[in-house]
Amino acid sequence: MQTDIIMPQLGESIAEGTIVTWLIAPGGRVEKDQSLLEVETDKVALEIPSPSSGFLTEVLIPAGQTVPVGTLLARLNTEAPDAGVVSRVGGVVVRQMDRSPAEENHYSPAVKQLAKEHGVDLSHITGSGGGGRITKKDVLDYVAQESAKTVTRPVEIEQPEAAAQREQVVPLTAMRKMIAERMIKSRQTSAHVATVFEADFSAVAKVRAGRTLTYLPFVIHAVARAIRDVPILNSSWGEAGIIEKRDIHIGVAVALEEGLLVPVVKHADRKPLTQLGQEVADLAERARSKRLQPEEVQGGTFTITNHGGFGSLFSTPIIHQPQIAILGVGAVQKRAVVINEAIAIRPMSYLSLSFDHRVIDGATADRFMKKVKSYLETSEWEQVL
């Protein structure tokens, strides 16, 4: 029995996808629901499970190619191939009659390029990726380890060729290209302006004590409440007018090795803190393991980026189109502040709002931020757990 593998519809607005890598070597066996290939779109990177058990007998589209939704990518067969795997690329049929164990390995173009630049034999590296595949980080770690073993040699006069080897070109992934295009487009589209407030997280820290909640659910809750008070922040620009969204769907930026994804917490204003904390943790974990569904990164109406998790104090993030604002949350640090004419130590954080000046003015942005600050500092958090 034969099963066709096609490029799936990965969201209503997604017309094509890029094959990052085949996770099963040609001719290899795959079980039903086991990850078969990794695909990137302009919105998400995820691993596609096999629809059935069988052998990958025919690969028509190699890794690195971008094809429309519905394209036939490969075929599975319930029986093992007798005469090797058929691979059609560019109209040419190639039959691999006798595959050696080395040929079973599949390396992404980026990994092979990196190995070539550093003169690395990939068979000496143990992969940490899905199915044991080798990632760029594995190659760089191996290079670093080998360099540390090298005995120091006398200084020699550097030749031009040696100087050129100090540079390398890191191939752009589909996700990196798309992020670059979207950031430039956002800057060209919106009139970016930023405002910064400082918030006292003492009330939040008190409720967090003894619980597994991070600061982020509290910020999401405060932002959702502030949006209800200042609904223009939950809008987008339209040629016929400003489009205010009634549903509050808050995107949360998640840093990946190769870029950023923004999974969305739907109806964030209707959920208690514990549920917000669980959803954020789940979305972030699945974003990093490339198990998000396309609909989980769509429909956001406002975005929060928690850059403080890396120690950053404040930033001016770029608006996630077509939204009109994005909130940056800086690191929560104990600082000396003046309270009632006395110096006190409080856990403080800078909150920065990048907003589209076409839609709102500074006074509206500051009114919104004042609400966020107030809710963080004065809310009866025990009542919304």
Tell me which residue of 306, 230, 312, 204 sits closest to 262, measured CA to CA: 306
Higher pLDDT, 123 or 37: 37
Report the amino acid identity of residue 61.
I
* Cα gap 348→329, rounded to integer Å: 11
pLDDT digits (tens, 9 = 90+) for 291-304: 998 889 999 999 99
| Maximum CA extent, the chain | 85
CATH class of domain segment(s) 175-384: alpha beta
Measured CA to CA in angstroms, residue 85 lies from 3, 20, 30, 65, 132 at distances of: 15, 20, 14, 20, 21
pLDDT of residue 140: 81
pLDDT of residue 272: 96
Q: What percent of the chain has pLDDT over 70?
A: 85
Is residue 105 predicted with pLDDT exceeding 80?
no
DSSP 271: S
Cα dihedral 365, 368, 370, 372, rounded to 10, equals -130
Instruction: Tell whether pTM > 0.75.
Output: no
Cα of 57 vs its chain's centroid, Å: 32
pLDDT digits (tens, 9 = 90+) for 195-204: 999 999 999 9
Q: What is the mean pLDDT of residues 185-197?
A: 96
Measured CA to CA in angstroms, residue 20 lies from 29, 66, 89, 175, 250 at distances of: 20, 9, 16, 10, 29
Least confident of 80-94, 314-328, 366-380: 80-94
* Cα gap 343→161, rounded to integer Å: 61
Confidence of residue 110 (pLDDT cuts 50, 70, 90): low
pLDDT of residue 93: 36
Confidence of residue 72 (pLDDT cuts 50, 70, 90): very high
Question: How confident is the prediction for the chain on average, in pLDDT?
Answer: 86
Measured CA to CA in angstroms, residue 99 lies from 25, 62, 82, 112, 133 at distances of: 11, 18, 12, 20, 18
Q: What is the mean pLDDT of residues 21-27?
A: 91
Is residue 27 predicted with pLDDT exceeding 70?
yes
Pick the CATH number of 2-106 from 3.90.320.10, 3.40.50.300, 3.10.20.30, 2.40.50.100: 2.40.50.100
Is residue 83 predicted with pLDDT exceeding 80?
no
pLDDT of residue 149: 65
The residue ranges of every structural domain in the chain are 2-106, 108-171, 175-384
pLDDT digits (tens, 9 = 90+) for 314-361: 999 999 999 999 999 999 999 999 999 999 999 999 999 999 999 999
* Cα gap 113→12, rounded to integer Å: 34
Tell me which residue of 261, 227, 245, 244 sits closest to 368, measured CA to CA: 227
- According to DSSP, the residues that pair with 302 across neighbouring strands are 250
**Which burial class, exposed, middle or buried, applies to 132 when counting CB atoms under 10 A from its CB (0-12, 13-18, 19+)?**
exposed
Least confident of 74-78, 106-110, 291-295: 106-110
Higher pLDDT, 86 or 156: 156
Q: What percent of the chain has pLDDT over 90?
A: 57
Tell me which residue of 193, 170, 217 sits closest to 375, measured CA to CA: 217
Confidence of residue 40 (pLDDT cuts 50, 70, 90): confident
Q: In this structure, are residues 366 and 325 in contact, taking their beta carbons and an 8 Å threshold?
A: no
Q: What is the mean pLDDT of residues 135-156?
A: 69
pLDDT digits (tens, 9 = 90+) for 245-299: 999 999 999 998 878 899 999 999 999 999 999 999 999 999 998 899 888 999 9
pLDDT of residue 108: 61
Is residue 97 predicted with pLDDT exceeding 70?
no
Pick the CATH number of 108-171 from 4.10.320.10, 3.20.20.100, 2.40.30.170, 3.40.1280.10: 4.10.320.10
Which residues are catalytic, by number? 357, 361
* Cα gap 260→223, rounded to integer Å: 21
Higher pLDDT, 271 or 111: 271
Confidence of residue 90 (pLDDT cuts 50, 70, 90): very low
